[in-house]
Amino acid sequence: MTNYKATFERDGFLVLPKFFAEQRIDAVQAAVKAKIAARPRDVVVDVLDTNERKLLSSLTPEQIRTTRMKVNDLYLNTPAVRDIAIDTDLAKILSDCMGTPIALCNSLYFEKGSAQPPHVDAIYMTPQTHGHLLASWVALEDVHEDAGSLEYYPGS
């Protein structure tokens, strides 16, 4: 069995290729697309180009198609997202790496990359205990150079 904790402590990150089955990822993609297309009143988005927080329902389908936005907390109202976000096997690995039980505090979805400069997430989501913030990224598309990058600093 892989020693995830040692790798995490050494590198500051883990890569878990094909951790979730393709069918499960496809189900999440379909659920997210359906939720966004429905434009419900209980989904909040951050419009990245204008730095505005809005209800998804306030955007037209055209705006949704063309706007760079961060869709917040779909785990609250989209079971397929919640199921992957609190997956038992993933939670075990993350808890082992942190050395403490973990809790989900939010989820973000980007249809188009945020193009954010390098930053420290703990500034935006300050944990009660220093060093107790862990982010996980689940690629819902194949990873390739044109898909937009996730930048991280090994050992940070």
What average pLDDT does the chain have?
Answer: 88
Which pTM was predicted? 0.86
Give the model's pLDDT for residue 111.
80
Give the model's pLDDT for residue 66.
93
Whether 85 contacts 75, CB under 8 Å = yes
How confident is residue 124, by pLDDT bands cut at 50, 70 and 90? low
Domain ranges of the chain: 4-137
Give the chain's radius of gyration (CA, Å). 16
Could you tell me which of 125, 119, 126, 124 has the C-alpha nearest to residue 156? 119
Average of per-residue pLDDT across 25-53 = 95
84: helix, strand or coil: helix
Give the model's pLDDT for residue 114.
59
Average of per-residue pLDDT across 17-46 = 96
How confident is residue 136, by pLDDT bands cut at 50, 70 and 90? confident
